[in-house]
Amino acid sequence: MKDKPIYVTEPFLPPLDEFTIYLKQIWKNKTLTNGGLFHQQLEKALCEYLGVEHISLFNNGTVGLITALQALKIKGEVITTPYSFVATAHSLLWNGIEPVFVDIDPSTLNLDPSKIEAAITSKTTAIMPVHCYGHPCDVEAIQEIADRHNLKVIYDAAHAFGVQCDCGSVLKHGDLSVLSFHATKVFNTFEGGAIVCPNAETKRLIDRLKNFGFVDEVTVNVAGINGKMSEVNAAFGLVQLNHIDAALEGRKTADTLYRALLKDVMGIRFLEGSGERVANYSYFPIMVESSYPLTRDELYHRLKQSNIFARRYFYPLISEFPVYKKFPSASPGMLPVATKASQEVLCLPLYSSLPEVEQLRIVSLIKNI
């Protein structure tokens, strides 16, 4: 008999009866969406939990990214990383912006600040870095470059729920930060996302943009979109927030165990922990190097045969997809670190309810090749 399938992640589900209480309330109130009570409560609760001042909820992270670019009126070229989920660059194309791919830092797999300046042209208007796997970017170096060249910074913070840096929440950096609350994320609302805004005025603009541009019942002053989060999603977020610390603790335990078990395996390297900075343990990427007896893809398939569904996040690179290949900055020769990382990376299953016995099984498969 085959072992039970283990996926790269499993959504964190709080007790169902706690959610039912909220659903009954929705049935009673009959407000299903358009900024209802739970929407307002979740915005407030998230500001408190994350340590930020203004949040605008969205129906998913991708629409959040698209709207963030609209809010800042970004045009021309934007410098970004090829080592991310494709939604990062798609948000640029949907705004008619050319993505300019810049290589990543081998130790963090985030955009390498030392390579940014060489990619700036007269058309560059912004930088869109990603806090990949929840590891904070070098926010100070990026801001310094942005200030020097008068560029905006929009962080794709899809992986960075709850991540701290030396000066508090990493989400406070840049002009805007965009979170994803997709089912596969540390904190989820089934589908969902949010933009962290620096002030009330920007939040008001973004709130309008996500509601078709309505100022009031009869006034529309910008071409907005429908990016609203429903009451059901917001209610789920509120329930989940009550249990998020336990979920993060479960992830931390699993992360620690992997690190201990895999530390001396020849040819398997993993990223350093975030040190003093607080991580959220959202992924557990390993790099399968040439000294390991199998290639990354062979290991991926070998695990699959044993019903372990690890994932190659992020392979292929965004710059390798046909829709992006045409851009000059997509040339693999200019992206050696990202290319190597995408060929070596394998994200092992990591979630709060991952049983220790399954982790032991995964590690013994990796060790006993």
156: tokens are: 């794709």
Nearer to ligand T4K among residue 209 and residue 292 (C-beta): 209
Residue 201 CB, shortest distance to ligand T4K, in Å, is 25
Choice from 10, 18, 98, 358 touching ligand T4K (CB under 6 A) = 10
The minimum distance between CB 312 and ligand T4K, in angstroms, equals 10
**Shortest distance (Å) from residue 10 CB to ligand T4K:** 5
Tokens of 90: 């798609």
Of 157-176, binders to ligand T4K (CB under 6 A) are 158-159
For ligand T4K, the closer CB: 188 or 339: 188
In the annotation, is 185 catalytic? yes
DSSP state letters, 57-75: EES-HHHHHHHHHHHTT--
Provide the angle, in degrees to the nearest 10, between the axes of the packed helices 296-305 and 356-367. 130
78 φ, ψ to 5°? -130, 130
3-state class (DSSP) for residue 24: helix
Looking at the Cβ atoms of 84 and 125, the one nearer to ligand T4K is 84
Choose, by CB under 6 A, the member of 6, 9, 339, 345 that binds ligand T4K.
Answer: 9
Residue of 22, 85, 155, 187 that binds ligand T4K (CB under 6 A)? 85
The span from the CA of 49 to the CA of 108, in Å, is 26
Q: With respect to ligand T4K, which residue has the nearer C-beta, 103 or 156?
A: 156
Q: Where are the beta strands (DSSP E) in the chain?
A: 6-7, 54-58, 77-80, 98-101, 124-128, 152-156, 164-165, 168-169, 176-180, 193-197, 214-216, 219-220, 268-270, 284-288, 308-309, 345-348
Q: Nearest residue to ligand T4K, using CB?
A: 61
Amino acid identity, position 79? I
And the tokens for 43?
A: 């915005």
Give the list of residues 6+ apart from residue 198 with CB closer than 8 angstroms, or none.
53, 54, 172, 175, 176
Residue closer to ligand T4K, measured from CB, 125 or 177: 177
Rounded least distance, CB 157 to ligand T4K, Å:
8
Distance (Å, whole) CA 192 – CA 70: 19
For residues 182 to 221, the per-residue mask of contacts with ligand T4K, x marking binding by CB under 6 A and - elsewhere, is xxx--------x----------------------------
Residue 359 burial class via C-beta count within 10 angstroms: exposed 0-12, middle 13-18, buried 19 and up: buried
Angle, helices 231-241 vs 37-50, to 10°: value is 40
Total Cβ atoms within 10 A of residue 228? 22
Residue from 62, 202, 274, 339 in contact with ligand T4K (CB under 6 A): 62
| Given the residues 152, 185, 203, 210, the one annotated as active site | 185
Nearer to ligand T4K, 62 or 342 (CB): 62
Taking the complex as a whole, the smallest distance from the CB of residue 252 to ligand T4K amounts, in Å, to 20
Residues touching ligand T4K, count (CB under 6 A)? 23
Q: State yes or no: residue 18 binds ligand T4K (CB under 6 A).
A: no
The single residue among 43, 105, 156, 255 that binds ligand T4K, judged by CB under 6 A, is 156
Nearer residue to ligand T4K within complex by CB, 283 or 292: 283
- Name the one range near ligand T4K by CB under 6 A: 8-16, 228-236, 286-294, 330-338: 8-16
Go through the chain and tell me how many residues it has.
369
Can residue 349 be called a binding residue for ligand T4K (CB under 6 A)? Answer: no
The rounded distance, in Å, linking the Cα atoms of 159 and 129 is 12
From 55-63, 95-103, 326-334, 355-363, give the range in contact with ligand T4K by CB under 6 A. 55-63
Q: In whole angstroms, what is the distance from residue 226 CA to residue 243 CA?
A: 29
Site string for ligand T4K, 299-328 (x = CB under 6 A): ----------x---x---------------
Residue positions annotated with a catalytic role: 185
Contact footprint for ligand T4K (CB under 6 A): 7-11, 60-62, 84-85, 87-88, 130, 156, 158-159, 180, 182-184, 193, 309, 313
